[in-house]
Structure 1
């Protein structure tokens, strides 16, 4: 059974061996037959997209259409998908080699030999490869650094902070003055900049007319008149309004507006008008309570409110926001310049930079494009529906038949050069610039260039009942929209700009065995659970009990023939279940429910790391440690679980005259236990403060967590493997920031962001081999995955979000429109501050795209299951349930049965006596002592040999040839070692690269070791003299030679700790009768004979010879010491043991 990118099974979704009998076989055959035509495969859910990719790759290699495997590139959407494709391609290629014969076999064998040369990776890594091959033409730093989304987000925040502080220091363009006049501040625009910077590909952000100005006088007059009317109404209204929303507004508005004493100022006037820009409702019976109003009167007042809103407040606010928009966008452009400059200065490229720089490289350099077209002759792209316009531009420029065409929409791919696989019904990443419009444009290009569009409809994943239900839900028909006329319920019969047409799924799964867990079921939440929090908790508990019961009772799951043949049993396993939510907010609730019942699980797309209690404790302790004068931080740390100091102890300390500082003395009059607890805590915090100043920050943080016992505490909690693993992951996150976080204060600030979920991360298990687990994830993470049993859970959070932006790519230029919100927090965007002209129509256009994407999201959710789909529905308030559109298609009698109570598994209790505790503590201490005792010694071979007693290394000089003093060298002294390093480097280069410029290399080497560059000529001359020697000529003419060869050998002479000796051999070469080993010495002889000086090194070179013989398994016939200063050569005789 294959394994998908999340650890689940993919075997059910792969075509069976005899899929040639399938409904769409003739379409599938085109993939491997039409190799000279570009193809777009529209593969519906479960039809084998990855299999199609692999088969196309094999066909190109088998037939020789792709003559070299390194000319093929396969691009995927994620790194995990790339890893899966790489694995499946390798397996398929090995199988194809075994089955092929003749020339096909030779081609496939050649491809298998060099399979690592085939690029299989994400579009971003592919673009990075293009840029690294041609950095000069791309105008990027030669050693640029790729930064991921999290690092880019931090850099963007840093850029905004730097830009904002720069405005305070100096604002020559008058941004602050203009914003102040419009009632805005720089702080209001931070979130807007985050959104704006996500779209560097937008070519124009159209601005409203410059002469735009609201009718201040008319708005002010209308406000005064309506406020006077409200003031007259207020005394007549009932005191209790019940569920009526208009009465409280009528009573409140005159009082609120009275606090604005400068309505002559446009910003205050508009702030007041914004208070009226809201929808309200009436309850007629509430108006009738005082007898002053009838039901018709209530309706008239509602009409008056709406009339003032539509004729006075909203027109003025629209003009005001459009006027603001121009000022805001001017600032956005300037802030983006600062952000771009910051990346450029640091040599960093984010994901968008990689794409845009690659597109510019290919667009503007025909010669470079021709080079890469010859380099990559065949391009295959998976999940093409998730491709954004810049990615599409890179792809089509690379395969264009005309290397001079600069508009990717006009490019026509070379025949057979492009293979795209995607499913437009699963295009769900518009918020990441992946646009159905881009997909449709690519489809048109393929068709116009003589390519093919292949439709795959046979689903090999799901059972017949699931497929029939999916077709019933999504195929064209009526009603196509819900009762509000907004939400799309079905795919259209023909493609539109917003939505593709529906392709009916056909049955292709070969059943091997039946099972109890099958079909489409409803999980019903009774009416007593009215609050969404209650509903989610009840649902999570029922799901957990259902899975627990299925596992305990051995319930079966339908399996395919392929799965049974691979040994997969029918009984349900934890990884047969998947829980899918529309949003990420409640994932942890399902994880906790599964944990209660002892069910292994894995959360993706959540924030398990951020919810870690030990992370909060670590943050509290670090915050106290770096702020010794902050009593609140200290008290928070002392009261926490990390130290557990009681409130009574803190009160007693303060009452006795103590102060809340870990540097202060603890009063002597406290209870001994209280004194001990406070002294221990303050002592630790003083130690932690010292660590944070003397150790690398990540190491200090890890040490503090260990000292506090946080890793052990995390591991001891339920689900401890994930708790402890997540804490370790947090430390690794800190370690990855070593180039960004320079102070302890920054480290604590970053930890605070993790704790407050400003930067979210999944948890991770500390176990290397995690058991099969239930997968819990949000809908955007689940695409491409599958499971036999899928729960569509979390019946809350469904509403139509406010439109934040609209990107129009329908014309020749990409146009961007951005709504500016401010004052928002974790749970909302805040109030609307500014927007472009005609925003209402633009926003409605974007809503149509969003509604179409919601339909595609439901399609993705409905097609994940292989055997059973279980969909949650609520008795009340089901309209807030993202799955409520499935309700008409669910059998009311097909509810998921309640499995009844299941007691959470009890951990086996162990009683430990005090004696056993003491014994174990002593054992731990003993093991720790043993652990610090070294089991081996590591030394330099030269150091080891020179330390041997003279008697063990007698000198036997066989040959001594002395020469005159060669080109002058620095006197032995403080730079003797450095000079030797330089000469060795030059001799290494001389043998490895005979044509190297030794003087340039010498100058660089001398500078690196801190010696005068003026010695470069002398050093190079000395090296050349050695290169003219007889021994050098012998080496050059030898059968084989190597320079600066590192070695490592074990020397065990009967001592308790054997010694590992490490060294490097300067030169070794092989002649017909054996190896010759040469060691260069840069010593000045100072009147001594070469034999005398060589005697000091005899043991060293003999040891080197022994090492070479042990490593190579061949004898060394000569061992020579060469004195570079004089040209003297001394042969060292080998000593027989």
Structure 2
């Protein structure tokens, strides 16, 4: 039996990747081959082999934050295993690594870039306190940039003589303004591309090369040789005349002296009519039939010229417009850069660019490579780009010194839309090999059984290869049989082969997709109810019938399709989970509300206000926002001015007037209302639920908004700034919650292929599969290496008449874009198919079903079963449905009862339960009973009336004062009071003002009260212990599962002293008697809550902590709970019983 503290058993390929430490290594890791295990084991092996390295000397770059968290957790577990077996100095060294585990450089590329830039900010001219713009903030900045750029061009002098400026004006004249704004709002995707050709001659030369290449292929084809071999076709015969014309065109095509355009025109002008001609005019029937067949084959070959055309006048006009678009795009980008500079903001591209610049400087590189950093590992390397590879090399010692380890799989590169470059993996691997490094192929699958692996290999052999006449051969990954996957586990005797369903081949969308969704739902239901499919249970490793929870239905995109599948699952009684790929706090409807809250906190926050105004909360259009921005000043000032103007000339219902009225009213009360009441007022006054209810997925959006109000109720005492801070912390922490949601429930998972990356499922159904690329036929501008534009044709009156012409430059660019997309479609298919452990189903519908081309051939070559689709019942069934976001689970229930699900308890729930247990009187017991019932059954209460505070004549409650003290501690005001008392006073004053106490006399009194409490706290033993601690963590979020229930919350403060002892601090704002006995008695109500904190901390870092309760009004009396007492409390903690007790509460008790 293997020792649990030992390294996991590795196969030969894995061991080579882990133990080759003296050379740089590139690992090609197929799907399910244990890539993460290898990364973790190599990390540990490097620390083992280099005892003088701190843990921060090894860098691991991951693709996502969740991957970084998973790797950090697994490294922590391996270090704990080493500590358990090590002795003496070895044990001390591993304990030191554990104490610094949170400081490890296991991070995304952008997290690492941010660290490098902040440490060297002056060298690249940025403020070290810069903020990183997420996608939403960057989009708002881009809207600002667009408004300014268009205003610049509107006021530009048309007689400047600058041809590019004139071309830009031509674009603004020739294209609809909406189209212009749509392209320019996406300007970032065109950044860094090559400029368009300078002259039409360059395009003509490209046309000639492309045309001559295709003409040469035609002339070398069997069809051409057959046509030319026909001797003396009868000219009087209709078919014979066609053959003679074809012979003449083919001979001309081979003549180097004839212009290319003439050759193309001649070949494209050929006529093909198989019914023409009479056999009596030919030498014999065989010659006649041969001629007809050869002409039919030639017709197919000449289709290769279909999109080839060159018209100099058209190209001249198109090139002018392309340069105009190029000028507009780059002006918008220049304004965008300036706005970021003014706001001390960097986006993700900036992080990469500036980090790369820094690491090209010898002085900066010397600080990291070989000093702070000894080894760099990069995960998911197939999804990197040139800059990221340069950054990794800049941080690491030289490749020849074994400083770099990359791992990935080119077949799984599916993030081109995020800038990933498929060619980098091959180039970097060759670079490592030239530097004396090693290339390792890991191809043993620990996921999929042998029969399925064999079928997949045969399928990939037919699918993964370059398309004929592709313009982008470098984008395709050809399947290599020598490195095909092998299986670690044998197939069960009753395994199911891959099955393919062709559904409604003659149907049109959306009807065919609806039929396909019904087929899938019905088939999954039949499999589960008849127990006709066996899977291997991951826990017991024994076969069992497949359940709904074993199935994952994967779509290439949710756009326009997911609703049909959700409806089908409802109709056929299949419980399902929609895995959206976004966390709760990143949902559009939640971000809308958070942005409005941020704008209410600070009306001068233009980014937040613009996002809120553009959302369904106020529904201002892009035109409205551009109108506001054109006024100058802050957006709030512009809103005020424009609303006054509109009110004079238009009805009060004008959107800008409505937005101004509502926003001003909310501003007036936002400092005085609890967060939940403020949210309810926002929702009511903007009619937000009705607005989002009409959108696709409106029911789930409404449920999400209601969940946010519930969360606000749990934070009811928090002032608006504190609540916003809580939401942002929760957003960062919810990656862990997403993992919990993903693993829960006996429901079919509906997700995208991108959302499934890195995961595995017993049974995968790959739906609506297609290997085609689908170009956007509306796009006015497209891009490959450079941009090209679809040129509108002008009518006689100068207006656009809707007809679109395509220049050769546009056609060429579009073909290159489509070829790259087709290559990625093959890789998407590979990723989707390799998610399956036990069984794989594939289906296609409508026209895609008949045009699968390579897939159809590959299916035949792999002997894939193509059974008839099951009959779908006509009568809808009652369904059990649970629709979840990747954050908090949200229920949408059809007529049948929903399946049981775990209650999500909060730390507040546990504290209230403890207070209920330890209440001193019936009155106090009734208070907590009512408080719990009210929170659990909030929907049974009428909306809370708007609250107001008379800040001039009344002081806040002691609990509110305690909350202000708590907020001040987060800002380290207790420490600031010693170093800079005046600055500390300003911070407290700001916190009190933001809490809604704006009148000067009341505010001064409250500030003094808060300061007196902070002074007492600063002199307390616990404050001194925290100040002397080795490590301090504030507002530490957690999620823990126990007794089938989930508990989530955050710990106020955790610190580690210099003897590596962990202590949890829980601040309380209660008012009790100021004596040690009374405080100790009162603190008992919080022991269950602290026991949960201790269990969560033990699970997270392996520590056995002490807990301390600190009453902020009486900080000298600290109640300490040693580990043994916490363990006793944990032993009596029955979360399922607490949940059941809560469920029994009546809302009006």
With structure 2 as the length reference, what TM-score do the two structures score? 0.56
Q: Which moved more, 1:585-594 or 1:876-885?
A: 876-885
CA distance in 2: counterparts of 1:485 and 1:57, whole angstroms: 44
CA distance in 1: counterparts of 2:877 and 2:79, whole angstroms: 48
Does residue 577 of the first structure (1) align with residue 555 of the second (2)?
A: no
**Counterpart residue number, 2:877:** 904
Change (3 A) 1:929 1:841: closer
Change (3 A) 1:905 1:328: closer
1:307-360 CA distances to partner (integer Å, 9 max, x unpaired)?
A: 999999733322322233334323333332112111111111111001001001
**Counterpart residue number, 1:320:** 317
**Counterpart residue number, 2:718:** none
Residue 454 of structure 1 and its aligned partner are, at CA, apart by 0.8
Secondary structure in 2 aligned to 1:41?
Answer: strand
Secondary structure in 2 aligned to 1:564?
Answer: coil
**Counterpart residue number, 1:953:** none
CA distance in 1: counterparts of 2:397 and 2:803, whole angstroms: 47
Query: Given that residues 1072 and 1079 in structure 2 are in contact (C-alpha distance below 8 angstroms), is that contact kept between their aligned partners in structure 1?
Result: yes
1:847-905 CA distances to partner (integer Å, 9 max, x unpaired)?
A: 55444333322222222211111111458662445954644246575527627648522
**Counterpart residue number, 1:601:** 577
1:968-1012 CA distances to partner (integer Å, 9 max, x unpaired)?
A: xxxxxxxxxxxxx9xxx999779x56xx9x9999999999999xx
CA distance in 2: counterparts of 1:1041 and 1:530, whole angstroms: 69
Does residue 143 of the first structure (1) align with residue 129 of the second (2)?
A: yes
**Counterpart residue number, 1:197:** 188
Unaligned runs of 5+ in 2: 205-264, 278-291, 594-612, 625-649, 713-736, 794-801, 880-893, 898-933, 949-954, 963-967, 994-1018, 1029-1064, 1083-1109, 1122-1149
Residue 421 of structure 1 and its aligned partner are, at CA, apart by 0.7
**Cα RMSD for the two superposed structures:** 6.3
How many pairs align? 783
Q: Which moved more, 1:495-504 or 1:91-100?
A: 495-504
Query: Given that residues 513 and 846 in structure 2 are in contact (C-alpha distance below 8 angstroms), is that contact kept between their aligned partners in structure 1?
Result: no
Q: 1:507 aligns with which of 477, 482, 486?
A: 486
Query: Given that residues 61 and 379 in structure 2 are in contact (C-alpha distance below 8 angstroms), is that contact kept between their aligned partners in structure 1?
Result: yes
CA distance in 1: counterparts of 2:749 and 2:440, whole angstroms: 33
Query: Given that residues 714 and 724 in structure 1 are in contact (C-alpha distance below 8 angstroms), is that contact kept between their aligned partners in structure 2?
Result: yes
Q: 1:784 aligns with which of 758, 764, 771?
A: 758
Change (3 A) 1:30 1:806: farther
CA distance in 2: counterparts of 1:702 and 1:1042, whole angstroms: 41
Does residue 888 of the first structure (1) align with residue 860 of the second (2)?
A: yes
CA distance in 2: counterparts of 1:724 and 1:396, whole angstroms: 48
1:481-517 CA distances to partner (integer Å, 9 max, x unpaired)?
A: 67x76699xxx9xx99865745543433335x94867
CA distance in 2: counterparts of 1:195 and 1:986, whole angstroms: 43
Residue 942 of structure 1 and its aligned partner are, at CA, apart by 14
**Counterpart residue number, 2:830:** 859
Query: Given that residues 355 and 391 in structure 2 are in contact (C-alpha distance below 8 angstroms), is that contact kept between their aligned partners in structure 1?
Result: yes
Residue 928 of structure 1 and its aligned partner are, at CA, apart by 6.6
Change (3 A) 1:517 1:588: farther
Does residue 453 of the first structure (1) align with residue 439 of the second (2)?
A: yes
**Counterpart residue number, 1:207:** 197
Does residue 525 of the first structure (1) align with residue 503 of the second (2)?
A: yes
CA distance in 2: counterparts of 1:311 and 1:1104, whole angstroms: 80
Secondary structure in 2 aligned to 1:89?
Answer: helix
Change (3 A) 1:727 1:903: same
CA distance in 2: counterparts of 1:1007 and 1:621, whole angstroms: 32
CA distance in 2: counterparts of 1:414 and 1:368, whole angstroms: 16
CA distance in 2: counterparts of 1:89 and 1:30, whole angstroms: 19
Residue 158 of structure 1 and its aligned partner are, at CA, apart by 2.5
Change (3 A) 1:594 1:713: farther
Change (3 A) 1:414 1:721: farther
Query: Given that residues 578 and 791 in structure 1 are in contact (C-alpha distance below 8 angstroms), is that contact kept between their aligned partners in structure 2?
Result: yes
Change (3 A) 1:185 1:65: farther
With structure 1 as the length reference, what TM-score do the two structures score? 0.57
**Counterpart residue number, 2:1053:** none
Change (3 A) 1:195 1:501: farther
Query: How do 1:675-754 and structure 2 match up within 5 A?
Result: 691=665, 694=668, 702-705=680-683, 722-727=700-705
Change (3 A) 1:443 1:842: farther
Query: How do 1:467-616 and structure 2 match up within 5 A?
Result: 467-475=453-461, 501=480, 503-510=482-489, 514=492, 518-526=496-504, 530-559=507-536, 563-564=539-540, 570-585=544-559, 586-596=561-571, 597-604=573-580
1:935-989 CA distances to partner (integer Å, 9 max, x unpaired)?
A: xx97559999xxxxxxxxxxxxxxxxxxxxxxxxxxxxxxxxxxxx9xxx99977
Query: Given that residues 517 and 789 in structure 1 are in contact (C-alpha distance below 8 angstroms), is that contact kept between their aligned partners in structure 2?
Result: no
Secondary structure in 2 aligned to 1:558?
Answer: strand
Q: Which moved more, 1:883-892 or 1:790-799?
A: 883-892
CA distance in 2: counterparts of 1:800 and 1:1105, whole angstroms: 62
Query: Given that residues 691 and 700 in structure 1 are in contact (C-alpha distance below 8 angstroms), is that contact kept between their aligned partners in structure 2?
Result: no
Unaligned runs of 5+ in 1: 1-14, 215-275, 289-295, 402-412, 630-659, 665-683, 735-762, 809-815, 825-829, 911-919, 945-980, 1011-1033, 1063-1102, 1115-1137
CA distance in 2: counterparts of 1:941 and 1:865, whole angstroms: 54
Q: 2:12 aligns with which of 20, 26, 34?
A: 26
1:452-474 CA distances to partner (integer Å, 9 max, x unpaired)?
A: 11110111111112111121123
1:1054-1082 CA distances to partner (integer Å, 9 max, x unpaired)?
A: 9xxx999x9xxxxxxxxxxxxxxxxxxxx
CA distance in 2: counterparts of 1:37 and 1:929, whole angstroms: 67
CA distance in 1: counterparts of 2:430 and 2:488, whole angstroms: 32
1:244-270 CA distances to partner (integer Å, 9 max, x unpaired)?
A: xxxxxxxxxxxxxxxxxxxxxxxxxxx
Change (3 A) 1:690 1:1004: closer
Residue 521 of structure 1 and its aligned partner are, at CA, apart by 0.8
Q: Which moved more, 1:1105-1114 or 1:318-327?
A: 1105-1114
Change (3 A) 1:366 1:713: closer
Change (3 A) 1:569 1:723: farther
Query: Given that residues 525 and 873 in structure 1 are in contact (C-alpha distance below 8 angstroms), is that contact kept between their aligned partners in structure 2?
Result: yes
Does residue 878 of the first structure (1) align with residue 849 of the second (2)?
A: yes
Query: How do 1:160-179 and structure 2 match up within 5 A?
Result: 160-171=146-157, 177-179=166-168
Residue 43 of structure 1 and its aligned partner are, at CA, apart by 0.5
Query: Given that residues 28 and 440 in structure 2 are in contact (C-alpha distance below 8 angstroms), is that contact kept between their aligned partners in structure 1?
Result: yes
**Counterpart residue number, 2:1118:** 1111
Max Rg structure: 1
Residue 84 of structure 1 and its aligned partner are, at CA, apart by 2.5
1:46-86 CA distances to partner (integer Å, 9 max, x unpaired)?
A: 11111111111111122336721122221111222223222
Query: Given that residues 62 and 105 in structure 1 are in contact (C-alpha distance below 8 angstroms), is that contact kept between their aligned partners in structure 2?
Result: no
Change (3 A) 1:194 1:452: farther
Query: Given that residues 69 and 111 in structure 1 are in contact (C-alpha distance below 8 angstroms), is that contact kept between their aligned partners in structure 2?
Result: yes
Change (3 A) 1:373 1:332: farther
Secondary structure in 1 aligned to 2:539?
Answer: helix
CA distance in 2: counterparts of 1:359 and 1:392, whole angstroms: 9
Residue 819 of structure 1 and its aligned partner are, at CA, apart by 1.5
Query: Given that residues 726 and 765 in structure 1 are in contact (C-alpha distance below 8 angstroms), is that contact kept between their aligned partners in structure 2?
Result: no
Query: How do 1:1064-1103 and structure 2 match up within 5 A?
Result: none
**Counterpart residue number, 1:258:** none
Change (3 A) 1:372 1:723: same
Residue 131 of structure 1 and its aligned partner are, at CA, apart by 1.2
Q: 1:817 aligns with which of 777, 786, 795?
A: 786
Query: Given that residues 520 and 868 in structure 1 are in contact (C-alpha distance below 8 angstroms), is that contact kept between their aligned partners in structure 2?
Result: yes
1:197-256 CA distances to partner (integer Å, 9 max, x unpaired)?
A: 225445x52531399999xxxxxxxxxxxxxxxxxxxxxxxxxxxxxxxxxxxxxxxxxx
CA distance in 2: counterparts of 1:109 and 1:479, whole angstroms: 48
**Counterpart residue number, 2:367:** 370
**Counterpart residue number, 2:407:** 421
**Counterpart residue number, 2:388:** 391
Query: Given that residues 315 and 809 in structure 2 are in contact (C-alpha distance below 8 angstroms), is that contact kept between their aligned partners in structure 1?
Result: no
